[in-house]
C-alpha cells in the first residue's frame, strides 16, 4: 500500500466509532477501523452460514485446511461460532498433502501449528499413501505426453476425492471449504468461458440428489463466499494469523486461464467494485435455473470404487489412477 493511501486511511473516521479507518469498502461505501472491520467479517461469515442453513447443531463439521489465509480464517471462525452458537461436536481439520516440493510441507507446518495452538484435532491424508504417487511424480510422468492438461487438472480430481473420503472416514456430515468471493467469481466466469453449463448446474448449493447418489458425497459448505480475497487477507493480518502466503508453484508455472480471468476481474473491479457480487448472484441464480432445467439421467456406478460414474464404466478418479498405473 502506498504512503498516500495510508495517509488517506488515517484521516478518515470509522462509520461506527471515532477511530482511523483501515478499509474503505467501495462496493458498499462503508469505512471501517480495524476493530469494526474484524467484527464485520465475523458477522458476514455467521450470517452466510445462517442464511444458507449451512450447518445444523447436530452436524459434525470437517474443515479442509491448507495453512493459507482462507482456510485458517474459516477454521478460526467456525471454532468461535461452534462454541458460541451450535455447541455441536468438535471440529476436525483435514489436511491434504499433494506432495509438492518446497511448498506443501511449509503450509502444512503452519496448518498443524494453528491446530495445536487452538487444540483442534487434525488428520493429514497424502496423495502418496492413497494413490501411490505424489503430485510432483504424476506431473513428471505426464508432462511430456501430448494430452498434458496442467497440474491443477490432475490435482483437483484426486484432491476432491481424498477430501470427500477423508471427511466421511472422520465421521463428518459437513465439509467446510475456504473458497472466498473472488474464487467463486473466478470459477464462475471460467465455467462460462468454457461453456460448462453442466458444471454450473452441478455446483448448485441446494441440490436434492437421490439417495443412491447423495450417499457417496458429503455435503460441502463455503462460509466465506461473501468476502472478497483482499478482505480475508486484511482480516488474517489484523488477527496476526501465522498463515502460509506463497502460491502453489504450479499455479505460477502453468499458463492457466484462471490467472488471466482473475487479472480481468481485478481490472474490472477498479471501475465497478460490485462486480464480484454480481458474479456471485449470477452464479446462484443461474446454477438454480440450470439445475432445474437439466433432466437427471440415470448413472452408472464405477466398477472399481462404486461411486457414480456418469455414462462411463469407471469414475474420473479411478480412470485417472488406472491411467497412471498403465
**Residue ranges that bind ligand SF4, judged by CB under 6 A:** 98, 151-152, 155-156, 248, 250-251
Q: Report what 318 binds from Zn ion, ligand SF4, none; CB cut-off 5-8 Å by kind.
A: Zn ion
- Among residues 211, 219, 222, the alpha carbon closest in space to that of 308 is found at 211
234 binds, among Zn ion, ligand SF4, none (CB under 5 to 8 A by kind): none
Return d(Cα 87, Cα 115) in angstroms, integer: 19
Alpha-carbon span 272 to 274, nearest angstrom: 6
Question: Cβ 125 to ligand SF4, closest distance in Å?
Answer: 14
Alpha-carbon span 23 to 238, nearest angstrom: 12
Closer Cβ to ligand SF4, 153 or 300, answer by number: 153
Residue 61: strand pairing partners: 174
Nearer CB in complex with ligand SF4: 14/125: 125
Q: With binding defined as CB under 5 A, does residue 321 bind Zn ion?
A: no
We find the least distance from the C-beta atom of residue 282 to ligand SF4, in angstroms, to be 24
* Shortest Å, Cβ 274 to Zn ion: 23
Q: How far apart are CA 234 and CA 202, in angstroms?
A: 32
9, 12, 16, 249: residue in contact with Zn ion (rule CB under 5 A): 16
* Binding-residue pattern over the window 285 to 304 for Zn ion, x denoting contact by CB under 5 A: -----------------x-x
Q: What is the DSSP string of 161-202?
A: HHHHHHHHHTT-SEEE----HHHHHHHHHHHHHTT-HHHHHH
Instruction: Choose the contact partner of 305 out of ligand SF4, Zn ion, none; CB within 5 to 8 A by kind.
Output: Zn ion
Q: For residues 249 and 273, which CB has a smaller minimum distance to ligand SF4 in the complex?
A: 249
Confirm if 73 and 241 have CB atoms less than 8 A apart: yes
| Cα dihedral 75/273/283/59 (nearest 10) | 20
Phi, psi of 96 (to 5 degrees): -105, 125
Q: Which stretches of the chain bind Zn ion, using CB under 5 A?
A: 14, 16-17, 19, 33, 36, 302, 304-305, 307, 315, 318
Amino acid at each position: 500500500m502506498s504512503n498516500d493511501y495510508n495517509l488517506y486511511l488515517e484521516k478518515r473516521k470509522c462509520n461506527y466509532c471515532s477511530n482511523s479507518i483501515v478499509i474503505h469498502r467501495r462496493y458498499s461505501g462503508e469505512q471501517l477501523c480495524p476493530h469494526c472491520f474484524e467484527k464485520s467479517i465475523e458477522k458476514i461469515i455467521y450470517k452466510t452460514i445462517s442464511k444458507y442453513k449451512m450447518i445444523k447443531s447436530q452436524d459434525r463439521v470437517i474443515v479442509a485446511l491448507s495453512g493459507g489465509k482462507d482456510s485458517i480464517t474459516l477454521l478460526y471462525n467456525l471454532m468461535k461460532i461452534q462454541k458460541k452458537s451450535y455447541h455441536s461436536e468438535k471440529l476436525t481439520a483435514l489436511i491434504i498433502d499433494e506432495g509438492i516440493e518446497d511448498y506443501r510441507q511449509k503450509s502444512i507446518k503452519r496448518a498443524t501449528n494453528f491446530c495445536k495452538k487452538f487444540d483442534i484435532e487434525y488428520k493429514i491424508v497424502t496423495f502418496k499413501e492413497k494413490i501411490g504417487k505424489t503430485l510432483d511424480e504424476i506431473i513428471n510422468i505426464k508432462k511430456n505426453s501430448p494430452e498434458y492438461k496442467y497440474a491443477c487438472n490432475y490435482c483437483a480430481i484426486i484432491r476432491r476425492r481424498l477430501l470427500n473420503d477423508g471427511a466421511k472416514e472422520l465421521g463428518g456430515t459437513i465439509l467446510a471449504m475456504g473458497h472466498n468471493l473472488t474464487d467463486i467469481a473466478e470459477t464462475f466466469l471460467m465455467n462460462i468461458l468454457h461453456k460448462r453449463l453442466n458444471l454450473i448446474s452441478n455446483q448448485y448449493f441446494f441440490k436434492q440428489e437421490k439417495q443412491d447418489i447423495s450417499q457417496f458425497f458429503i455435503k460441502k459448505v463455503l462460509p466465506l463466499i461473501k468476502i472478497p480475497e483482499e478482505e480475508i487477507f486484511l482480516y488474517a493480518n489484523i488477527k496476526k494469523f501465522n498463515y502460509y502466503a506463497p502460491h502453489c508453484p504450479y499455479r505460477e508455472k502453468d499458463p492457466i486461464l484462471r490467472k488471466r480471468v482473475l487479472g480481468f476481474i481485478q481490472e474490472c473491479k477498479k471501475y465497478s467494485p460490485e462486480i464480484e457480487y454480481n458474479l456471485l448472484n449470477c452464479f446462484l441464480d443461474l446454477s438454480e435455473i440450470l439445475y432445474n432445467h437439466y433432466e437427471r439421467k440415470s448413472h452408472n456406478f464405477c466398477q472399481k470404487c462404486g461411486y457414480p460414474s456418469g455414462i462411463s464404466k469407471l469414475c474420473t478418479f479411478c480412470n485417472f489412477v488406472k491411467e497412471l498405473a498403465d
